[in-house]
């Protein structure tokens, strides 16, 4: 099963200059819990945005650069190759170009209720069925957000 994992602002922004435009500790905890022990497929820029590889997860990096290598990264040059490396259940974690390459069966989404400037944008998930939602109010200067699970 292919599941997208992402946080997306109301205006579609998922990133700016290679980082998240917000800091939501609960979202980071949820992401960790949902991806622990799973192979994660990501683009090179997403992998390089981490200070270090995330523990307890495989990092399958999709890149067009045939010479690119990194410690703790498995390299794939096509979505099919990435899925073959992953095996069964896979977490696709971005960026925007990588999400566009896959057909997911589910989306674990954090809707961040703000509209920041950004350079990475994901369109709305139209035609999906919402199975679950948990809303959280803004606090301590952080925007309100909602945890949502979508399925086709």
64-105 confidence digits (pLDDT tens)? 999 999 999 999 999 999 999 999 899 999 999 999 999 999
Count of domains in the chain?
1
pLDDT in the model for residue 47: 97
- pTM for the model: 0.96
The CATH number covering residue 108 comes to 3.40.430.10
pLDDT in the model for residue 78: 97
Read off the tokens for 81.
């190759």
CA separation, residue 71 to residues 48, 50, 110 (Å): 11, 13, 29
pLDDT grade, residue 139 (50/70/90)? very high
In which domain, by residue range, is 111 found? 2-151
7-26 confidence digits (pLDDT tens)? 999 999 999 999 999 999 99
Alpha helices per DSSP H over 50-106: 79-86, 96-99
């Amino acid at each position: 099963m292919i599941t997208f994992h992402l946080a997306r602002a109301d205006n579609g922004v998922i990133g700016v200059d290679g980082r998240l435009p917000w800091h939501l500790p609960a979202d980071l905890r949820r992401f960790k819990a949902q991806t622990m022990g799973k192979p994660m497929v990501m683009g090179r820029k997403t992998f390089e945005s981490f200070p270090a590889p995330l523990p307890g997860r495989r990092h399958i990096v999709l890149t067009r650069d045939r010479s690119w290598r990194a410690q703790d990264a498995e390299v794939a040059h096509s979505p099919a190759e990435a899925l073959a490396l992953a095996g069964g259940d896979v977490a696709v974690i971005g960026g925007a170009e990588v999400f566009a390459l896959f057909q997911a069966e589910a989306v674990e989404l954090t809707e961040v209720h703000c509209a920041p400037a950004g350079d990475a944008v994901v369109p709305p998930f139209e035609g999906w069925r919402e199975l679950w939602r948990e809303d959280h109010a803004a606090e301590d200067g952080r925007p309100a957000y909602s945890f949502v699970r979508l399925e086709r």
